[in-house]
A and B are shown apart, each in its own frame.
Chain A
Amino acid sequence: MGEIFHALEVMNRTMNLGLSGTDMLRAEMAFKSALAKQGNPDPSLKLPDDPVTLASGYELRATIRPRPVKLSLRQLSKFAKQTAINPILSVDSKTMQRIDKAIKEEGADKQDGG
């Protein structure tokens, strides 16, 4: 569910919405709740109405990947050449440390509600 929080955070910043951390957590919860309702259309399941209880049994997994556009044979040839001749490099440890630090800070921000 972290992805949704981050998405909201990006939206908050770029659109200048002025939402607090609590507002964003509320939006995240509402989103999960709406998904839970949508995912359980069968009324006989008698889902709870309370959005917090409803959302607690759900998590959202998201991935970001390139759209599945079929490459032309020429593009595929170029891609194969680049990849085969220059094997994919691993991320260096310095970059990994910076990424870890950023994640940690964002996690702390989220917990502080801001």
Chain B
Amino acid sequence: MAPTDPPPFSAAALATRLPEFLTPPSLLTERLQIARQVADQSSRKDKVVAAIVVGSTAFERCSATADLDLILITPSSNHSTSFETQIVSNVRVDVERITSAEAFAKTGSDGWIWELREAARIGCGVPVYDPTGFATQLSRRALALRPRPAEVEATLRDVYSVLARIGAERNDLSWCEDALRGCLDNLSMLALLAQPRRYQKAKWVLADLLHAGQERLVDAMISAYRIESDAEASARAATAAVRTLVETVHQECGFPSHEALLRMGYAPAFAEASYVSRTLADAEDLVLVGRNTEAQYVAKFAARLAIGQLNSPTLPGATMSRFRTQGHPIQSHYRAIFRSGAEADFERILPIVLQESEERGRSIGVP
């Protein structure tokens, strides 16, 4: 393919489809009304400073059956964090109570991924009860946060080191392609951390990048992740292949099965494996709603996470070295997931990666 040709499926095409997936306004209004109802009832029983709808409803990404997440902010003298669930008009409402001091702390600390995500959850929320303007104040604080410069620099140093190695390893195309995907993952994370929504999870990466105007980065990711069609069949094939890989990796590493991990929900004993499985489950959910490009990206990202588990320091050395062998079926299976008819388009992707890296550098004051 010539460097000037567009990739087979583009970010622009994906961007035009995204509005289709937003929650319909009528459903959104209905859910916000339910949240207001719960907030009003609560404020009559206890002192409530503010009530904020967060999560998929706030991001306009919820379905009619999704849980509705509501944060009730209580005065600091009140009890600390607590959770309760109510069913209102057939909608499960998860109510989280936090004190105003906790809310203030969550939206004001110097941060990296976790802290910024927590702040964004409140900052991007929709206030449904805010008599004193406290929720608006929290939103302003959350928006003003910036990713920790030292962490941004460390991530960029990793990206640059990998890019320099790519130049020396051009004879190993498979490694170079995977390394480029790693660079793009890091750059997309940095790009998203600088945005109000921050980095939520793989499921929303492409949509959030497009929301942030990062079309060029999304194009590079579509190309590097070898997503060549928005067809449902491609998405189903990708998720099926990744499921086989994930199940094999879990089994070989002695982890619970993919389904068992999903049933376990929060599984701190198998944190990494659980994250891989939940990411794959997200990809399968995306296929069900027709978000086929995003489904392929998320499934393939799960494959990268699964292979990454083989480098886990908790795994016995013998197991690790066995899997790392190039001829091992897991490695072949992994490579097949990213195989494509065309050669890797380094000439298109590399300049984008370099430009994005420089832009991220400028965000922390590198001239």
Contact = CB atoms under 8 A, between A and B. Distances in A.
Interface of A: 72-74, 76-77, 79-88
Given A81-B354, A85-B350, A74 B166 contact: no
Contacts, number: 55
A84 B350 contact: yes
Interface string B145-174: 000000001001101110110111010000
A73 B164 contact: no
A73 to B, nearest CB: 5
Interface of B: 153, 156-157, 159-161, 163-164, 166-168, 170, 350-351, 354, 357-358, 361, 366-367
A47 B295 CA distance: 70
A73 B354 contact: no
Contacts of B164: 79-80, 83-84
Contacts of A82: 167
Given A84-B350, A84-B354, A85-B350, A77 B366 contact: yes
Given A74-B366, A85-B167, 16 more contacts: A73-B361, A73-B366, A74-B367, A77-B357, A79-B164, A80-B159, A80-B160, A80-B357, A81-B163, A83-B167, A84-B164, A84-B167, A84-B354, A85-B351, A86-B167, A87-B168
Contacts of A88: 167-168
Nearest to B366: A73
Contacts of A72: 366
B167 A77 contact: no
Contacts of A80: 159-161, 163-164, 167, 354, 357
